[in-house]
Amino acid sequence: RYLFKITDIPNSKTFDKVDLLIIPAKPGEELSRILSAKPSKKPKPIKIANFSTLLKHMIITKERLIATQEEEEQNSESTEQIQEKIDWLTKGISLFS
């Protein structure tokens, strides 16, 4: 973080964000000073090593849920929950395929 006089930056207001400041050379000097502020790095998203591995696991889980659903009674609440999971996995599989 750098602090500057308001007069160093024409047309600026107090608390304006500054990314770069060029200080004119003083009489007798050839070079001007340039100060810059680097933006902080954005966090990188978590990478999945391979989507095919995720897809395989989703397909296996869907097949297991279908087998479980066939064994369950037709009118139970767990069948509805299983069907919701199967529908969700079907959407996910179509998304990653």
What are the tens digits of pLDDT across the range 18-73?
677 777 777 887 776 766 766 778 888 777 667 788 889 999 999 999 998 888 77
pLDDT for position 6: 67
Asked whether residue 91 carries a pLDDT value surpassing 70, the answer given is yes
Q: Report which of residues 84 and 96 the model is more confident about.
A: 84
18/34 Cα distance (integer angstroms)? 12
- In this predicted structure, the answer to whether residue 81 has a pLDDT above a threshold of 80 is yes
pLDDT higher than 70, residue 75: no
CA-based nearest residue to 8, from 17, 21, 27, 26: 21
